[in-house]
Structure 1
């Protein structure tokens, strides 16, 4: 069974309990195939509510078997044994107090149970069990300790129990958890179980079709009579400059240059003596394009009718001639070397030949949006093994340039700069197993990992686990 199904049945069973339908809740809990410690605890509480002590004992045994540090499960099993065997009940209450690990209380609300287990109430029950067994001095000793650990005035029943022991050696009532208090699933996980319609439903606001209530991918369209046999060609607005058609794709290498594709219509504003032309495209994009990539276009302001053609309009005509070479600067030297860098994706930069390693690395770092210190460059001269590029290998790198182009490889080291979270211990914790992390109140603990109930941390040079509470 998947976690989603377990979560859904868990939520349904808790809803039955809130409605007072204990039998349906118990049936739903028992139908869960993979029962975690909290679910077994809930099953034990429902059996205890039905006075089925043997079934409750078995359920609490399963809960403790899956989480041997769940103090509230020992507490409930102690209440179950109180109905049958006082000595077994006493052992469970003593184990409950041990699992408190010196804390005055454990608040189970972050784990889904709206209950606080107080150490003074556990000692109250231990004192009652000693009184049941006729050990009045032990009972008095535990009640006095409970009185010292009392944190709130609402625990007046501890005073009354101590008075009964000292004056009349009378028994008193057992502290029990209110029926119906169960572990509930995480409400954020439960909210994700419901399907959400993020897009919503379409609604027709306006349509030329009367009574159009269609809300699919496209509205209903009226039938048009006398459809023209040929489509109307778009009108080309008159702009400043002379219109030209782009013959070849041009990829810019500087901010001043403009990217264009074959078939684009641009308007030449100015043509320089170095064969570069200043053009405007789409009424707002301006930049430099090699003039030999363009061809003058004879168009008029009025629209023209496109002649019918039997050819496939999706396939463009092939170029009429080979693409010219890139124009050079006035001194006859190319404007830069094209460097192709293979990373998780491929990028291209343009750099002047002979630039130092730091300048090239900074340009690649800016392009990849990664720190330069985390990047390592490689070059493969003459199809041999990759050579790591640094300041001393730049001469080898520039010797690998062919046709004003070179290919590099790049890798990034893992970023370990993320700081780990540190916490201050509010209480002391003694290790009960080799895996536990012992610390004192006020110690600073570095949290390495965590889940809902336990943290893994490092303190005083030692690493181990400790309760999140």
Structure 2
């Protein structure tokens, strides 16, 4: 599939998202024969809004299979999944942040900053659902420290709660990967022969992760119970 055709469908899908036409957005995305990780992430976002959790999970599985280093993909999937599998994704999200406190996805077209403390908060939410309240509190304390020690917002409420299940954080529903503005503007541009410029999808690598699939050792869903060891990080092994 030529990149120009993918770009056209991608842009039309984003316009549908802006209009809250989620079915229309999915229709355009499904026309893309070779979806990238960003296209699949967008499809998952639409499925989530429509309440189609199984389809959202499938799309996120495929997105992560395309790019096993997409931390925001693990973050989003962890919020959708349950218990041990969700905890595994929280761990992988933090792993693929590569020691950074924040990843700014704007250069990839996603107007979202993923913070390490948000990943930890979702891990605490999983521990709450598992009934591991002490682990949840310990992770929340670390999240508060990473946020700068200023207890506020969700973390303050969570720390003050008494064994209440926390709602996980999600990427906002209208925040999706968007094509580059300059690419859209040049979409109808013709070369000197009067033909549309045809570029392969693979000619457009992601600036953060590259164009091909990642090579994480266990990027799929895990089933182990991981224990947070504070400054030592996570204690546990990822099992596919």
Q: Same fold (TM over 0.5)?
A: yes
Verify: 1:169 aligned to 2:166, yes or no.
no
C-alpha distance in structure 1 between counterparts of 2:24 and 2:15, whole Å: 10
Stretch of structure 1 that moved more, 44-53 or 168-177: 168-177
Q: TM (normalized to structure 1)?
A: 0.40
C-alpha distance in structure 1 between counterparts of 2:208 and 2:96, whole Å: 14
1:69 alignment partner in structure 2: 69
Verify: 1:57 aligned to 2:57, yes or no.
yes
C-alpha distance in structure 1 between counterparts of 2:50 and 2:80, whole Å: 11
For residue 106 of structure 1, give the secondary structure of its aligned residue in structure 2. Answer: strand
Gaps of 5+ in 2: 191-204, 211-240
For 1:118, which of 115, 118, 128 is the aligned residue? 115
2:157 alignment partner in structure 1: 160
C-alpha distance in structure 1 between counterparts of 2:38 and 2:109, whole Å: 9
- Over 3 Å counting, the alpha-carbon distance change for 1:17 and 1:454 in structure 2 is closer
Over the residues paired in the alignment, what is the CA RMSD in angstroms?
2.2
C-alpha distance in structure 2 between counterparts of 1:110 and 1:155, whole Å: 29
Distance apart, 1:163 and its partner CA: 1.5
Distance apart, 1:67 and its partner CA: 0.5
For residue 146 of structure 1, give the secondary structure of its aligned residue in structure 2. Answer: helix
C-alpha distance in structure 2 between counterparts of 1:5 and 1:119, whole Å: 36
Deviation digits for residues 153-193 of structure 1 (CA, Å, limit 9, x no counterpart): 695211221111xxx22233321221111000111111111
Gaps of 5+ in 1: 197-449, 456-469
For 1:182, which of 164, 176, 180 is the aligned residue? 176
Distance apart, 1:38 and its partner CA: 0.5
1:11 alignment partner in structure 2: 11
- Over 3 Å counting, the alpha-carbon distance change for 1:12 and 1:155 in structure 2 is farther
| Aligned residues of 1:45 and 1:76 also touching (Cα < 8 A) | no
2:124 alignment partner in structure 1: 127
- Over 3 Å counting, the alpha-carbon distance change for 1:106 and 1:155 in structure 2 is farther
Q: Which structure's CA Rg is the greater one?
A: 1
For residue 170 of structure 2, give the secondary structure of its aligned residue in structure 1. Answer: coil
1:384 alignment partner in structure 2: none
Equivalent residues in 2 for 1:398-417 (5 A)? none
Deviation digits for residues 285-323 of structure 1 (CA, Å, limit 9, x no counterpart): xxxxxxxxxxxxxxxxxxxxxxxxxxxxxxxxxxxxxxx
C-alpha distance in structure 2 between counterparts of 1:186 and 1:115, whole Å: 15
What is the total number of aligned residue pairs between the two structures?
A: 198
C-alpha distance in structure 1 between counterparts of 2:45 and 2:119, whole Å: 18
1:104 alignment partner in structure 2: 101
| Aligned residues of 2:77 and 2:86 also touching (Cα < 8 A) | yes
Distance apart, 1:150 and its partner CA: 0.1
For residue 172 of structure 1, give the secondary structure of its aligned residue in structure 2. Answer: coil
Equivalent residues in 2 for 1:137-216 (5 A)? 137-151=134-148, 155-164=152-161, 168-195=162-189
2:208 alignment partner in structure 1: 453
Distance apart, 1:92 and its partner CA: 1.1
- Over 3 Å counting, the alpha-carbon distance change for 1:141 and 1:32 in structure 2 is same
| Aligned residues of 1:12 and 1:25 also touching (Cα < 8 A) | yes
C-alpha distance in structure 1 between counterparts of 2:106 and 2:163, whole Å: 37
Distance apart, 1:91 and its partner CA: 1.4
